[in-house]
Amino acid sequence: FRPVDLFDQIQAQMKPLADEKGLSLVMGYSAEMPAMLLGDPLRLQQIVINLVSNAIKYSDSGSITIEIGRARQDSWLFSVRDQGRGIAETDLENIFEPFWQAEDSARTSAFGVGLGLSIVQQFVELMNGKIEVTSELGQGSVFTVTLPLLLPAVASAGGAAGSQD
């Protein structure tokens, strides 16, 4: 898949939601972003859309930044940073649990049933990746997903001798 095309689609899909709340949606690509990556673009798209959707829901002003960069030779980082309300340190251990929501009863009913981050974690694990979150109350959150995605040339070099792409 073409990562820039995928993230352009994500931005086009999520920008109207960000605009409704007066939020900026910013994309940041690594200078070494390849034209192609091997992996599951549909799962990656769902992961990033869920993270951006949460960032929009829990932000009242500022910007949401999606950054894409290389973690190692064989893996890539995808992060979503917001300037929202943040997550209490005591809640961080629970945020990936199905149906879990922070104690904020005034907003809970408008924000779904609490499956988004659980689904994100499941997709990340299915793709042999990891997800991390850092957050500070009143300052926002950063969700960082690391996924093992190969460049097409690297993948074909590991294939059978004489194979062609």
Position 162 in a domain? no
pTM over the 0.85 mark: no
Position 164 in a domain? no
Instruction: Tokens 């294939």: give the residue.
Output: 159
Which pLDDT value is given to residue 162? 41
Alpha carbon 46 to chain centroid distance? 8
- Other Cβ atoms less than 10 A from the Cβ of 91: the count is 15
Which pLDDT value is given to residue 118? 87
Position 165 in a domain? no
Position 163 in a domain? no
Report residues of the chain scoring pLDDT below 70: 98-115, 154-165
Which pLDDT value is given to residue 50? 95
Distance in angstroms (rounded) separating the CA atoms of residues 95 and 87: 9
Task: Indicate the average pLDDT of the chain.
Answer: 86
Which pLDDT value is given to residue 101? 65
Distance in angstroms (rounded) separating the CA atoms of residues 102 and 113: 11
Looking at the 3D structure of the chain, how many domains does it have?
Answer: 1
CATH number of the domain to which 119 belongs: 3.30.565.10
Which pLDDT value is given to residue 156? 55
Distance in angstroms (rounded) separating the CA atoms of residues 58 and 157: 44
Which pLDDT value is given to residue 157? 52
Domain hosting residue 103, numbered range: 3-157
Q: Are 75 and 149 in contact (CB under 8 A)?
A: yes
Span 91-106, pLDDT tens digits? 888 788 766 566 553 4
Which pLDDT value is given to residue 161? 43
